[in-house]
């Protein structure tokens, strides 16, 4: 039997319109004559979704009772018996009720597809198995229902139902997604703008990867070998010259023409590489790369063109941007094909763009004779000696005269110098000996023999060979010193790049580790501190060759890859010293971070002393005056006067006691000595006593406390004090005709208690200021204490392992949000009855 066609509508979050789109598609197919039934659709009370069900044949659900709760699920047997052409199945990740045919709804979908029934289903990105942990990290909500990636990848068609994050929040605020009682909590938690943006990007990237995987499968099945440039990766070669900015902007424009194009900039430093790299220009160009959204890389290679092409291939580049050579025509003619020509020859299927610029051909440079006497160079020098010697001999024999011996010797001397410049000492010495024998054989009497009759001729030949040897030695030493100088310049560029990474705020240790791997072309580099890897770059699988470098006394640097030369180990010792300095700086920064709270505590104590002198004086003065009046003997007081003085003294002493209590609490918070006794506490058991203490009724406070809210892990007494403080503030600032709303909700393993008023509110940029001790944000009546209420409340909540934050109330006002860990209930497992 032919398998049914499987189509999945993928959404970034609840409410984007997946179910609505599925019903719309079902209606379209039905209009075209297809046999469409609704196997299961979850409307969640949304009127728009419910209206779309009109006109569809809906297969009745199966109903079961589990632990006294009635559950309804998709009736798989009924759908199979009906055998429609197309079945609409909502919420692919749903877990079926115990006793159902299958545990998961996607198992039911597999059964429908196996029966030849086409299925259209829906799923959110947070339910994809491989992304569940990423979504939990973004939103804080753990996903208990997931779908294996293999199930989704087996779908014949996957579509993203997209909705802009702000548009989704507007739908949510309008009541089109959740009931009104859940809107505020949803907007402040899962449906934050940043969360929705990240989930949307995650959905689009997952689908892009799926499309890329499908394309690779198609190419493999059809044996397509040519390159399909579905995604552009543009590599820009930087030399450190003034043309770098032009090349980068051209590369950025090329990458921008393709959706998802990537920009990579690379600077190749080499013994035989480009000279004249300006560290300042490279730093400026790297900053430009960052601003253009690209990435910068540094590579050291003995062969610049080959290193550049190998880097491009390793990064799967499709475009390579290089600049026109800065050499003049004379320099190009003398040194032959440059880097550009070599890159074009080696690039293969990578497109190469040679971009002209203002510095092209703008200066004359002597021919680059090469700084390294490689085997290739020596072989070329030997070939010049073998070919040039006979040619020079033939030419000189053809024009030989009795007086031409001097010009003959100088001509052969010139040949030896050219061979020395090209091939160094060995080929030049060979050319000197060969040319000396040739001079003796063809031009020194007696000719056509190697016998020398005149002693002066023998001396001349000896001096000739000696001069040629000395020239060869000088050229060889100069070449080696040039090689060392260029190597030192490349190493300096590497260290300057690392320093630039640190200055721009990157992690110093990670920057050093990353640049070390790139510079020495290693497979991976690990930094181990006290035996534990802290920073890793590259493939984590250890290579056959491992080099270990000590970093100070407590760390090691492991390099996996090819063995390093002695000169490279010298540079590595410099990097190790910088790593040691960076580790020391990290330790100092950690110590400074530990000292910062002490400085903050000192500032708090200073502010406390400044505030106590004024705010404690008022109740003390009032109480003292009242007691003095009661003790006065020269004044006759009526009973009413005595009662008023006693009341004033009592109120002043109560106020003084509250202030002292708050001050002691602040001191305990600062010292970390606050006694907290955590236990499961029901939200209602805290809020209702707080209302009684403040003598508040339904006319002032509105409650929205769901029955199924979990208990919180908290200290009952401290939490009640927090609620009393927050309620007092909310009532104080609320208009007389507006009630304060107290609501509770549970999300991501935490319970939130929200106290919302509709007063003037607080500007968003000052939300954190209201929790600072002795801050009243404009209150100057000196009747509200020291301004410690919110500071104490925040300290109490954080002492219980929670958070206290301020948010804007929709429609105006301020909402204080208490978030505390939910108590994890331990349930005794009840075995299911045997089928």
Question: What are 255-277's pLDDT values in tens digits?
Answer: 877 656 788 999 887 654 444 56
Question: Band of the pLDDT at 478, cuts 50, 70, 90?
Answer: confident
Pairing of β 701-704 and β 740-747: parallel
Nearest alpha-carbon partner for 794 in 812, 775, 811, 773: 773
> Which run of H or E residues covers position 583?
helix 566-615
pLDDT of 41 strictly over 50: yes
Would you say 110 and 118 are in contact if contact means Cβ atoms under 8 Å apart? no
Rounded to 10 degrees, what is the CA torsion of 575, 580, 585, 587? 150
What is the full DSSP assignment across 300-321?
Answer: E-SSHHHHHHHHHHHTT-SEEE
Question: Can you read off the two tokens belonging to residue 518?
Answer: 């790139």
CA 171 vs. chain centroid, Å, equals: 30
User: What's the pLDDT at 662?
Assistant: 60
- Residue 526: asked if its preceding bond is cis (omega within 30°), the reply is no
Question: What are 433-463's pLDDT values in tens digits?
Answer: 788 778 777 877 777 776 666 676 667 667 7
CA 737 vs. chain centroid, Å, equals: 49
Question: Band of the pLDDT at 788, cuts 50, 70, 90?
Answer: low
- pLDDT averaged over every residue in the chain: 77
Would you say 687 and 753 are in contact if contact means Cβ atoms under 8 Å apart? yes
User: What's the pLDDT at 826?
Assistant: 54
Question: Can you read off the two tokens belonging to residue 144?
Answer: 């208990």
Name every residue whose Cβ is closer than 8 Å to that of residue 812 and which is 6 or more positions away in sequence: 758, 759, 760, 761
Give the best-scoring range by mean pLDDT among 22-26, 150-154, 516-520.
Answer: 22-26
Q: Average pLDDT, stretch 528-557? A: 78
Give the best-scoring range by mean pLDDT among 467-471, 657-661, 665-669, 703-707.
Answer: 703-707
Between helices 566-615 and 639-671, what is the axis angle to 10°? 170
Question: Can you read off the two tokens belonging to residue 830?
Answer: 């009840």
Question: Band of the pLDDT at 621, cuts 50, 70, 90?
Answer: confident
User: What's the pLDDT at 265?
Assistant: 92
**What percent of the chain has a predicted confidence (pLDDT) above 70?**
75
Outline where 616-638 has alpha helix (H).
617-631
CA max distance for the chain: 155
Question: Band of the pLDDT at 600, cuts 50, 70, 90?
Answer: low
d(Cα 168, Cα 784) in Å, to the nearest integer? 42
Name every residue whose Cβ is closer than 8 Å to that of residue 496 and which is 6 or more positions away in sequence: 279, 282, 283
Would you say 321 and 353 are in contact if contact means Cβ atoms under 8 Å apart? yes
Termini Cα distance of the chain: 30
Question: Band of the pLDDT at 782, cuts 50, 70, 90?
Answer: very low
Question: What are 83-97's pLDDT values in tens digits?
Answer: 999 999 999 988 888
pLDDT of 468 strictly over 80: no
Question: What are 193-241's pLDDT values in tens digits?
Answer: 778 888 888 888 777 766 655 555 555 565 654 445 556 788 999 887 7
Give the best-scoring range by mean pLDDT among 105-114, 504-513, 520-529, 698-707.
Answer: 105-114
Q: Which pTM was predicted? A: 0.40
Q: Average pLDDT, stretch 546-558? A: 84
- Residue 186: asked if its preceding bond is cis (omega within 30°), the reply is no
HEC profile of 34-69: CCEEEEECCCCCCHHHHHHCCCCEECCCEEEEECCE
Outline where 53-173 has alpha helix (H).
76-82, 105-114, 132-139, 149-153, 165-173
Q: For the CA atoms of the chain, what is the radius of gyration?
A: 41
User: What's the pLDDT at 517?
Assistant: 79
Question: Band of the pLDDT at 183, cuts 50, 70, 90?
Answer: low
* CATH architecture observed for domain 6-221: 3-Layer(aba) Sandwich (3.40)
Q: Which fold, 679-821?
A: Heat Shock Protein 90 (3.30.565)
Burial (CB count <10 Å: 0-12, 13-18, 19+), residue 503: exposed
User: What's the pLDDT at 5?
Assistant: 92
User: What's the pLDDT at 423?
Assistant: 78
Q: Average pLDDT, stretch 534-543? A: 70
Position with higher pLDDT, 515 vs 682: 682
User: What's the pLDDT at 167?
Assistant: 85
| Residues recorded for the chain | 835
The C-alpha angle 145, 101, 827, rounded to 5 degrees, equals 50
Question: What are 632-669's pLDDT values in tens digits?
Answer: 777 777 888 788 888 888 877 876 776 666 666 655 55
Question: Band of the pLDDT at 672, cuts 50, 70, 90?
Answer: low
Question: Band of the pLDDT at 347, cuts 50, 70, 90?
Answer: confident
User: What's the pLDDT at 385?
Assistant: 85
Question: What are 723-763's pLDDT values in tens digits?
Answer: 888 888 888 888 888 888 898 888 777 888 999 888 888 88
Q: Average pLDDT, stretch 40-55? A: 85
**What percent of the chain has a predicted confidence (pLDDT) above 90?**
8
Domain range annotation of the chain: 6-221, 233-355, 375-481, 616-671, 679-821
Question: Band of the pLDDT at 110, cuts 50, 70, 90?
Answer: very high
d(Cα 116, Cα 85) in Å, to the nearest integer? 8
Q: Which fold, 233-355?
A: Rossmann fold (3.40.50)
Q: HSE on the CB side for 706, CA within 13 Å?
A: 16
Position with higher pLDDT, 405 vs 291: 291
Q: Average pLDDT, stretch 49-69? A: 84
Would you say 247 and 322 are in contact if contact means Cβ atoms under 8 Å apart? yes
User: What's the pLDDT at 118?
Assistant: 93
- Domain 6-221 matches domain 679-821 at the CATH topology level: no
Q: How many CB atoms lie within 10 A of CB 468?
A: 25
User: What's the pLDDT at 335?
Assistant: 46
User: What's the pLDDT at 117?
Assistant: 92
């Amino acid at each position: 039997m032919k398998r049914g066609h499987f189509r999945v509508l993928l959404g970034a979050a609840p409410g984007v319109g997946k179910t609505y789109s599925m019903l719309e598609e079902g209606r379209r197919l039905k209009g075209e004559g297809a046999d469409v039934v609704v196997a299961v659709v979850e409307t969640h009370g949304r009127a728009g979704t419910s209206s779309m069900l009109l006109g569809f044949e809906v297969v009745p659900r199966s109903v079961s009772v589990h632990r006294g709760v009635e559950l309804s699920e998709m009736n798989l047997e009924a759908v199979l018996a009906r055998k429609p052409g197309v079945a609409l199945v909502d919420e692919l990740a749903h877990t079926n009720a115990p006793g159902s045919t299958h545990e998961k709804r996607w198992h039911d979908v597999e059964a429908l597809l196996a029966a030849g029934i086409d299925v259209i289903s829906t799923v959110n990105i947070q339910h994809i198995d491989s992304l569940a942990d990423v979504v939990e990290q973004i939103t804080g909500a753990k996903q208990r229902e997931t779908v294996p990636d293999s199930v989704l990848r087996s779908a014949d068609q996957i579509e993203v139902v997209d909705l802009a994050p702000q548009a989704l929040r507007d739908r949510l605020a309008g009541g089109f997604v959740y009931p009104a009682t859940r809107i505020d909590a949803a907007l402040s938690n899962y449906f934050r703008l940043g969360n929705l943006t990240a989930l949307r990007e995650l959905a689009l990237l997952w689908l892009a990867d799926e499309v890329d995987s499908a394309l690779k499968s198609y190419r493999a099945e059809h044996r397509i070998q040519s390159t399909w440039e579905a995604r552009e990766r543009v590599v820009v070669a930087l030399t450190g010259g003034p043309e770098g900015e032009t090349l980068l902007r051209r590369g950025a424009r090329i990458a921008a023409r393709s959706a998802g194009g990537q920009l990579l900039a690379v600077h190749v430093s080499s013994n035989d590489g480009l000279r004249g790299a300006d560290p300042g220009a490279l730093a400026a160009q790297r900053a430009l790369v960052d601003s253009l959204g690209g990435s910068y890389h540094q590579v050291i290679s003995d062969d610049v063109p080959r290193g550049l092409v190998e880097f491009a291939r390793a990064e799967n580049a499709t475009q390579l941007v290089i600049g026109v050579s800065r050499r003049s025509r004379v320099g190009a003619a003398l040194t032959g094909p440059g880097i550009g020509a070599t890159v074009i020859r080696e690039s293969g299927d990578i497109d190469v763009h040679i971009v002209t610029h203002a510095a092209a051909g703008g200066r004359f440079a002597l021919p680059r004779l090469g700084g390294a006497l490689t085997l290739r160079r020596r072989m070329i020098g030997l070939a010049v000696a073998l070919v040039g010697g006979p040619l020079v001999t033939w030419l000189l024999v053809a024009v030989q005269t009795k007086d031409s011996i001097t010009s003959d010797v100088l001509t052969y001397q010139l040949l030896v110098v050219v061979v020395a410049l090209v091939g160094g000492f060995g080929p030049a010495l060979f050319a000197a000996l060969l040319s000396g024998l040739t001079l003796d054989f063809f031009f020194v009497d007696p000719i056509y023999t190697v016998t020398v009759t005149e002693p002066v001729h023998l001396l001349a030949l000896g001096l000739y060979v000696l001069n040629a040897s000395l020239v060869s030695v000088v050229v060889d030493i100069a070449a080696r010193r040039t090689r060392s100088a260029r190597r030192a310049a490349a190493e300096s560029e590497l260290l300057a790049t690392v320093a630039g990474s640190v200055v721009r705020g990157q992690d110093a240790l990670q920057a050093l580790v990353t640049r070390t791997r790139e510079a020495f072309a290693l497979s991976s580099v690990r930094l181990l501190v006290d035996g534990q890897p802290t920073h890793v770059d590259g493939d984590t699988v250890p290579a056959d060759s491992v080099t270990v470098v000590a970093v100070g006394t407590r760390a090691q640097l492991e390099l996996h890859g090819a063995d390093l030369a002695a000169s490279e180990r010298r540079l590595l010792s410099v990097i190790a010293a910088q790593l040691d300095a960076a580790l020391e700086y990290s330790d100092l920064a950690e110590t400074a971070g530990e000292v910062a709270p002490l400085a903050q505590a000192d500032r708090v104590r200073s502010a406390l002393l400044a505030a106590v002198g004024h705010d404690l004086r008022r109740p003390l003065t009032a109480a003292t005056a009242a007691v003095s009046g009661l003790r006065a003997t020269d004044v006759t007081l009526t009973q009413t006067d005595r009662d008023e003085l006693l009341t004033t003294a009592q109120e002043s002493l109560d106020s003084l006691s509250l202030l002292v209590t708050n001050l002691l609490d602040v001191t305990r918070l600062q010292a970390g000595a606050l006694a907290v006794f955590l236990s499961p506490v029901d939200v209602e058991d805290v809020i209702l006593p707080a209302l009684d203490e403040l003598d508040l009724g339904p006319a002032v406070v509105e409650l929205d406390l769901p029955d199924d809210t979990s208990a919180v892990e908290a200290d009952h007494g401290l939490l009640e004090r927090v609620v009393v403080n927050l309620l007092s503030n909310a009532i104080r600032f609320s208009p007389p005709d507006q009630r304060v709303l107290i609501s509770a909700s549970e999300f991501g393993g935490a319970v939130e208690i929200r106290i919302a008023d509709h007063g003037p509110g607080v500007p968003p940029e000052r939300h954190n200021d209201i929790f600072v001790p002795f801050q009243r944000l404009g209150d100057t009546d000196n009747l509200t204490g020291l301004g410690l209420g919110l500071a104490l409340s925040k300290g109490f909540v954080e002492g219980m392992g929670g958070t206290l934050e301020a948010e804007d109330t929709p429609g105006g006002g301020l909402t204080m949000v208490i978030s505390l860990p939910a108590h994890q209930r331990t349930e005794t497992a009840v075995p299911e009855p045997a089928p």
